Amino acid sequence: MRFIANALAIGVVVSAVAHTQALQVLDPRLPRLRDGKPNLTAPAPKTSDGKPDLSGIWRLGNDRYRRNLAADGTRVPFQPWAAALFKERQGGQGKSNPSGRCLPRGVPAVMLVRDNPWKIVQTPGAILILFDESLHYRQILADGRAFPEDPTPTWLGYSIGKWEGDTLVAETMGFNEETWLDEIGHPHSDAVHVVERFRRRTVGTMDIQITIDDPKAYTRPWGASVRFELLPDTDLDEHLCAVQSKPQG
């Protein structure tokens, strides 16, 4: 088990992290080299119905996207109010980030924490994403349904998906306005529409093209192409977060 405790004092945040040894579980589905190690450069696997199989434990390949989704130098097209809020969050050095109070990260931020991997469980009608962080989950419903007319706003939104060739296209809407898009504090409104294009390149790599479409907060869509890496022969550990108040002195 991993346990994170955030002790909140007046103007002070203290955090402690305890780690146990990672689970070692041999995955019989993975192709192997002669020495028995997983062949992570082998072609991406397929399901029985011919779709790309996205299953596995994944983590962010480059940690810079956790902090800043625009890390590639993208010029973020802010609306004025969003630019002002983003600047305010910079001044606070991330102290107002809801994740610091053990509240859920939204999409895509929950996918972008390298130390907190996530697991895809793929079925014909739904792709489930299980998170190491605080035991959250997402479901991408790929059974042909449309969005509900008036979804209840949630931290992780409501996701539907479809296959375009070898790419899973997931669209997510219905967010509340509490989450940040990344650790640096790019904001969003309740109108945000996140599009993710999942493409598994090899056994060991998957690219996700992330597009943020939020006309209330940005003048045009923007985003990034982010690579993720497979963590073979393991499974999710428990990761719990607790907030405790601690008086000074």
Place of tokens 């809020």: 85
Sign of CA dihedral 23, 60, 54, 146: positive
Whole-number percent of the chain with pLDDT over 70: 88
Q: Is it the case that residue 243 has pLDDT exceeding 90?
A: no
Give the per-residue pLDDT at 4: 44
Q: How confident is the model at residue 245 (pLDDT cuts 50, 70, 90)?
A: low
Give the per-residue pLDDT at 225: 97
Give the per-residue pLDDT at 101: 87
Q: How confident is the model at residue 242 (pLDDT cuts 50, 70, 90)?
A: confident
Give the per-residue pLDDT at 22: 65
Mean pLDDT of the chain: 88
Q: How confident is the model at residue 15 (pLDDT cuts 50, 70, 90)?
A: very low
pTM of the model: 0.88
Q: How far apart are CA 136 and CA 129, in angstroms?
A: 9
Question: What is the DSSP-derived secondary structure letter of residue 16?
Answer: E
pLDDT, one tens digit per residue, over 67-113 is 999 999 999 999 999 999 999 998 887 788 998 888 999 999 999 99
Sign of CA dihedral 124, 126, 127, 132: negative
Give the per-residue pLDDT at 134: 64
Within 8 A by CB and 6+ apart from 6, the residues are 13, 14, 15, 100, 101, 102, 241, 242, 243, 244
pLDDT, one tens digit per residue, over 134-171 is 678 999 999 999 999 888 899 999 999 999 999 999 99
**Is the bond preceding residue 108 a cis peptide, omega within 30 degrees?**
yes
